[in-house]
Structure 1
Amino acid sequence: MQGTKIQYKTYEKKDFSHLKNLNGISDKTLEIHFALYGGYVTNTNTLNEKVIELTEAGKSGTPEYAELKRRYGFEYNGKVLHEYYFGNLKSGGSDEPKESSAIGKAICDTYSSYEVWKNDFMKVGAMRGVGWAILFQDPDTKVLSNHWVTLHEEGNIAGFKPILVMDAWEHAFLLDYKPAERPKYIEAFFSNIDWAAVESRLIK
């Protein structure tokens, strides 16, 4: 309809300031990380605005439009994955879920034991490069699997649901560990997992 504006909703930065006193991940690291996450929220909103402006101006086929569209996956996934990451952490977390819990059973159903799964996840997280280690669930089979996502968008499995998300970019640990000490950061990450939050993401 002529004159009708394209509708969109502005994303709000979520508040994760309750995350303090984590084991092996300093408050200063978290403070810097929260600010970086806020940048993804801002950039996602800016991209939405600019793409809509170009669309309404009849410039959908322009090189500028194409580049903004290509950038969207990076910024939006950066926003969402950080929300998953912060959302599965808590002070006083634990290294592993209860064996009788739904997430504990789901892991063992796929990997035979928690130890086998954890070793695989840690190896994925220690891979060279910048990105994310993610435990996904297949919505069709309900099977869990560990994956590496480069940057924020390369390697995401279409339709799979993130269950446990670990940021493996160096900004997640560089104030606390040397670049070669990523395995120490991964151990710290595991000691802060909020397994109740992780379990709530399971597809029943």
Structure 2
Amino acid sequence: MADKKYTPMQFPNCKGLKGISDAVLEVHFKLYEGYVNRTNKLTETLSGMATKGEAAGTNPMYAEMTRRLGFEYNGVVLHEYYFGNLKAGGSGATPPAKLKKAMEESFGSFETWLADFKAISTMPGIGWAVTFQDPRTGWLSNHWITLHETNNIAGFKPIIVMDAWEHAFVPDYKANERAKYVDAYFSNLDFDAAEGRLK
């Protein structure tokens, strides 16, 4: 695994978003690239330690770097989902038929899903708002992900991902204006890309 390296993805779909400036996105892309680089470095270091026989739960360096890998790795993956479900102008105010049906079957209505997602995304704290799909039932559920790795649901597929860290919207908005950023996010949300993630 040590010789396998991730390369940061490019997201031209994010150019010219409404209410989320290109300047904020440029900084955000650099942060994402940092997660990619640290994931590569940690993977290389941990693989080297395993090859040398230093992989042990009693080795504090190995243990802490392994814990850190979940944070960095999820930082890569969640950012790729986030940037991937944005495009200038979004795809309209309502999702296409398959995604809307999944929301209705899971929440009763699109409006209830939307209210629930917005409530979660405006909670205090640093993290992410994510609509996941249960691979067994197909049901959708909204979750708050603390940092990058805490509260992720094992095996569930991210369908709609919103970065709720301040770096996603400051200085376009003040730190206490996350609700304005959430509105901007929805004006750029690509429901078609989200629907393509459904099983």
Fold conserved between structures, TM > 0.5: yes
Matched residue, 2:36: 41
By how many angstroms is 1:107 displaced?
A: 0.6
**Corresponding position of 2:188:** 192
2:103 corresponds to 1:107: yes
Q: List per-residue Cα deviations over 1:151-189 (Å, max 9, x = no partner).
A: 000000111110000000000001110111100000100
State the secondary structure of the residue aligned to 1:152. coil
Secondary structure (helix, strand or coil) at the match of 2:176 reads helix
* Residue correspondences, number: 196
TM-score (norm. length: structure 1): 0.93
Q: Evaluate the alpha carbon distance shift between residue 198 and residue 67 of structure 1 in structure 2; reply closer, same or farther with a 3 A threshold.
A: same
SS at match of 1:158: coil
Superposition RMSD in Å = 1.1
Residue 76 of structure 1: aligned partner:
73
Q: Which moved more, 1:68-77 or 1:104-113?
A: 104-113
SS in 2 for 1:179: coil
1:159 alignment counterpart: 155
Q: Paired residue for 2:93?
A: 95
Gaps of 5+ in 1: 1-5
Letter paired with 2:30: A
Q: Structure 2: give runs of 5+ residues left out of the alignment.
A: none
**TM-score when scaled to structure 2?**
0.96
Distance 2:24 2:36 in 1: 19
Tell me the residue number matched to 1:126: 122
SS in 2 for 1:142: coil
Provide closer, same or farther for how the CA distance between residues 21 and 7 of structure 1 changes in structure 2, counting only shifts above 3 A: closer
Which of residues 9, 18, 29 is equivalent to 1:23? 18
One-letter identity of the residue aligned with 1:88: N
Report the residue type matching 1:158 in the other structure: A
Structure showing greater Rg? 1
Which runs of 4 or more aligned residues in structure 1 lie more than 4 Å from their structure 2 counterparts after TM superposition? none
Moved more, 160-169 or 60-69: 60-69
1:169 maps to 2:145: no
Alignment of 1:179 onto 2:175:
yes
CA contact (8 A) 1:96 1:190 kept: no
Paired residues of 2:2 and 2:43 also in contact (CA < 8 A)? no
Tell me by how many angstroms 1:17 deviates. 3.4
Contact 1:103 1:199 in 2 (8 A): yes
Distance 1:138 1:131 in 2: 21
Q: 1:21, CA displacement in angstroms? A: 1.2
Mean alpha-carbon deviation: is it higher for 88-97 or for 159-168?
A: 88-97
Q: Aligned AA for 2:178?
A: R
The 3-state SS of whatever aligns with 1:34 is helix
> Which stretch of the first structure deviates more once superposed, 177-186 or 108-117?
108-117
